[in-house]
Chain A
Amino acid sequence: MQLYRLTLTTMIQRKVWIIALLCVLLLPAVLPYLTPYESNPSLIEPARAQAAWVCLWVVTIAWLFFQAARFGDETSRSGIGAYFLSSGISGLSQMIQIWLACLTFLIPLVAITLAVCFVGAMPSDGAQAQMWVATNLQYAALFLLVVTPLMMLAVSIGSRFGSTVGYLVPLCMSIYGMYGVGYLAMMTEVQSNLLLDWLYIMSPHYHLADLTPRLVFKQGSMLSSEFLQLVVYFVGIKIVLAMFSSITFQPRAAT
């Protein structure tokens, strides 16, 4: 796990994690006060939960995806990948070690988000509180299932095509999966087109993992069967992306 330790040490040394930590910790405390809470104080708590999850999405996509792509690129270009390759550490193992280092920063951020929702936005009613906890845990699970394979993709594409491409691909995929697919759905409703239908089916439906509206409008947790269906769907995408990433990762610069 030398590469894991080296990547982790580098991330700690760069100190950008402090900004990420502060964003996830402080913005959910400040942003809810931009709502018209004076006229309706009950807005504060749902707004806090919304701010917490939105901050987590933004920090993950803006910072961790970029870090992942950059480490993939640097490992390949700096000769570190070739060094580890020569000492018997396979490309797959190197990619997983970099990915795990990024994950080591992601997990505490998810934990903080959950803590903000549990401590700062928990409904006072017992039944609602139980539902609130379940919804947040479901959200955390789906969030991790969506972002972790994209982070691995950033590492692998970064190692082969450089940090810019490595960052843009998962960024575009996540934005498309969150918002673009919705527009595509509207288009397929307006006009019947086989190609668009096929594209809609094949698209990653990451918007399904966004449970923010459920939290904001207190719709309650998902049914177990519904949640499991989503888990299976995202695990499927995860397997495809993990396979693609392991093929794409290049531990040494092209000669």
Chain B
Amino acid sequence: MNAPSTKPRVHLDSGLSIGYGKSLARISGNGDGILLEEGTHYLLARNGRGKTTLLKTLAGVIKPLDGGYQCVGRCQYLSEDLTFDRELPAKAIFKALLKKSKYAEAINLAKTVELDVVKPYGKLSTGNKRKVSLLVAEFSICDEGLDVLLLDEPFTGLDAFSREAFQQRWDNCQDGVLRLVSCHPDFDSMKVKSSVLIADGVIKQAGGETGDQSWGVIKSQLN
């Protein structure tokens, strides 16, 4: 009998095909597929290539067209268009969704990234609205460290300072969480330790064992 896994893991089997009705992207039929373990992995592709579709598939929100995948851990899919009631301030959202112990941490990080937690959600700017969702996801992770965070373009509208604050937290926090983050990096020197690329309708892994790659290098692989 296998010992229970204590680390989050996502495995995309070879032959996995995603899309709505017709295939948008797939994993090449030969090979072992793609294995992602704890840490931050960036999902990179041009618009309309299937980043959101892949995240939704992994979250179990939509079914794959073909093939399979394994997602070990407690999933949280943070969609790009996740919104809360416009009258609720961030403070009330955190209180409703987070545990007491995590609430104080969330408020602290909110202060760091200059999020007004008493302003109604509807009056926040796009970037600040994203901060609310990100903070909810970040502080909803369980203490056992078996979480899979699927973040769909979490940096949209975020200023560089806030984005760096979150990235630093991900780098420094040894929380054992697997984060798959879809985004469009905006500077070529950004280091990407591990990434999943979607190009030419094929999902492939980059970085990882080969070491850090910069966005400038990876960009050339996307069509």
Contact = CB atoms under 8 A, between A and B. Distances in A.
Interface in A217-255: 252, 255
Contacts of B81: 78-79
Contact of A85 (B59, B83, B85): B59
A177 B20 CA distance: 42
A86 B75 contact: yes
A126 interface: no
Contacts of B72: none
B77 A82 contact: yes
Contact of A9 (B20, B60, B61, B88): B88
Interface residues of B, number: 26
Contacts of B97: 2, 5-6
A9 B87 contact: no
Contacts, number: 68
A13 B88 contact: yes
Given A82-B61, A86-B150, A9 B92 contact: yes
Interface string A168-196: 00000000000000000000000000000
Contact residues on A (Cβ < 8 Å of other chain), bracket: 20 to 34
A255 B20 contact: yes
Chain A binding surface, main DSSP class:
helix
Interface string A76-106: 0011101101111000000000000000000
A79 B74 contact: no
B83 A79 contact: yes
A74 interface: yes
A252 B59 CA distance: 12
A86 B83 contact: no
A80 B88 CA distance: 14
A2 B96 CA distance: 6
Contacts of A2: 96-97
Interface in A129-171: none
Given A5-B96, A6-B93, 8 more contacts: A2-B97, A5-B97, A8-B96, A82-B56, A82-B59, A86-B77, A87-B74, A87-B77
26 contacts: A5-B97, A6-B84, A6-B97, A8-B96, A9-B95, A9-B96, A10-B87, A13-B85, A13-B87, A14-B85, A78-B84, A79-B83, A80-B83, A80-B84, A82-B56, A82-B77, A82-B79, A83-B79, A83-B82, A85-B60, A85-B61, A86-B60, A86-B61, A87-B76, A87-B140, A88-B74
